[in-house]
């Protein structure tokens, strides 16, 4: 009779461990999927930035016309 109780206990522990491992595997797979989605969104944003930067028309005189450029402001008098 004692062997039957030990065997039942071992099967119960084994079943619980198997259930835990199955749930952990599902959670890890979900986490990997979310991470993959986030990384793809980041790559998409980077590609949009690169496209916008590539399409930007650069005017070499634009800095000279910028009123906020410190070089376009009169020197501050120290006094």
Cα–Cα distance between 20 and 9 in angstroms, integer?
17
72 with 66: CB under 8 angstroms? yes
More confident residue, 61 or 51: 51
64 neighbors 72 (Cβ within 8 angstroms): yes
Contact yes or no for 63/69 (Cβ under 8 A) = yes
pLDDT at 6 over 70: yes
**pLDDT band for position 78 (cuts 50, 70, 90):** low
- How far is Cα 27 from Cα 21, in angstroms, rounded to an integer? 10
Q: What is the pLDDT of residue 63?
A: 63
Whole-number CA gyration radius for the chain:
33
Mean pLDDT taken over the chain = 86
Digit-coded pLDDT (tens) for 20-34: 999 999 999 999 999
**Predicted TM-score of the model (pTM):** 0.52
């Amino acid at each position: 009779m004692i062997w039957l109780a030990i065997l039942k206990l071992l099967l119960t522990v084994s079943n619980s461990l198997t259930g835990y491992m199955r749930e952990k595997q599902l959670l890890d797979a979900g986490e990997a999927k979310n991470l993959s989605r986030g990384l793809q969104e980041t790559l998409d944003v980077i590609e949009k930035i690169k496209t916008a930067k590539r399409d930007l028309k650069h005017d070499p005189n634009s800095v000279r016309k910028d009123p906020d450029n410190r070089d376009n402001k009169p020197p501050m008098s120290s006094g």
